[in-house]
Amino acid sequence: MMPGHINFGLNDVDISTKLTKEISLKVPFVSSPMDTVTEHKMAITMALQGGIGIIHSNFTVEDQAEQVRKVKRYENGFITDPICLCPNSTVADVLKLKEEHGYSGIPITDTGKMGGKLMGLVSSRDITFITDTSVKIKEIMTPREKLSVAKKGIDLHDANEILKETKKGKLPVVNEKDELVSLIARTDLLKNNEFAQASKDPVTKQLLVGAAIGTRPEDRERAAALVEAGVDVIVVDSSQGDSVYQLDIVKHLKSSHPKLQVIAGNVVTPSQAIHLIQAGADGLRVGMGIGSICTTQEVCAVGRAQASAVYHVAKFARKYGVPILADGGIKSTGHITKALSLGASCVMMGSMLAGTDEAPGEYFYQDGVRLKRYRGMGSIEAMSKGSEKRYVWENNSAHSIKVAQGVSGAVQDKGTLLRYIPYLVQGVRHGMQDAGVKSLDETWDKLYNDKLRFEIRSPAAQKEGGVHGLHSYQKRLF
């Protein structure tokens, strides 16, 4: 990409974008729906950093819906489905919930469920010095009469003011019958201050989250469960998106859930894209056979170079106001910058994020290097867990033989997303500044008016554009 004139500072670069027709993001990063990349921890941290995570579908319907609920519960102003206990529950129950969910500020109701009469609240301070875990909560909880509460109908701003004034950790919200209707957490106020760019629903203040489904008939039930759990966007996950199976399910989703945003794909040509756009897709996923663990082009001889795919599909989809995600082949901030400059509204990343603390799985050491396992959803290992529906659309015995379109491997430790995403953001801003563009809208305006120029690099130019001529070196990202 050719450099441009710089007349603005780095902090003036705006990388906010559209994920779909209706969903905006402050950061154009999306974590891939892969079982070694995105579960609720990844999705939560991506949303806090201004991006979004797409929960993979190698779960049962109930488990995938619960993953979505965990994201929606994490930070959401009014927590409308808090976990409750009853007065006869024990300290052991509190400790178990703390281990499972990471918090111990639990409302106590007469029924032990949301909607019961508020009896009190138990927090970590109440159980710190309790050695007998069989002690009943009613003996140690803060009783109702000593609690600060808000009445149903209070707005989030006023509720937050009460929390600040009382300096309490939790604020229960009750109705006229003193029944618990929601809960507000002080920690959410702190998160709001720390993560000002977080991707949230403008009404509920819940973190945004997406989830993947396949194209088989049973995936309609999966989609309904995800919508009920509060999912914001569904990604129809298929290696080749231009099929009657995907067209049918996109039409079904848009008719059955009109407010739901749907990302369709994968596609690499405008002729594929038009069918999905006409079916009602709110966004398109672009890429076929170019991921680091993908062997589709080798096995099936079908696909396209990613830069060409992104440029041509983005230019075409732009006419219909449909954003695209560049999915696959992202190995560095330079690749992110090029994908965005070629017309992509967001980039979807797998291997870039698989080595982070928030990705599923445990670290292990090999030859002294700290690694995490990473596999393609087309690998035999992932297909045996359910992802074959991404590559095989019919459900019959003719497809009993699995043909792998991916591999399993490992990626190096990258630490926490809380440090890694800011590094990626800053790298993209540097690239856009060097190109002389202050925003993605300006980038695309210059691209389609022939003011943003690219040159093909020879192998020699590519070599001199990287580290060379050294006996040895150490590469640190940040």
Query: Which residues are catalytic, by number?
Result: 294, 390
DSSP three-state, residue 41? helix
Residue 59: which residues within 8 A CB-CB, separation 6 or more? Answer: 67
Strands (E), 363-441: 363-366, 369-375, 408-412
CA 451 to chain centre: 33
Residue 28 to residue 103: CA distance in whole angstroms: 31
CA distance to 113, 139, 190, per residue, from 124 (Å): 20, 14, 18
Residue where the block lists tokens 């069918």: 275
DSSP 239-279: SS--SHHHHHHHHHHHHH-TT-EEEEEEE-SHHHHHHHHHH
In 3-state terms, what secondary structure has residue 110? coil
63 DSSP 8-state letter = H
With contact defined as beta carbons under 8 Å apart, do 317 and 323 qualify? yes
Residues 85 and 78: their CA atoms lie apart, in Å, by 19
- 22's enclosing H/E stretch is none
Tell me the C-alpha distance between 452 and 448, whole Å: 8
Q: What is the SS3 assignment for 133?
A: coil
Listed in sequence order, the DSSP H helices in 5-123 are 40-48, 61-74, 91-101
Neighbours of 345 (CB within 10 A): 26
Residue 60 CB partners (closer than 8 Å, separation 6+): none
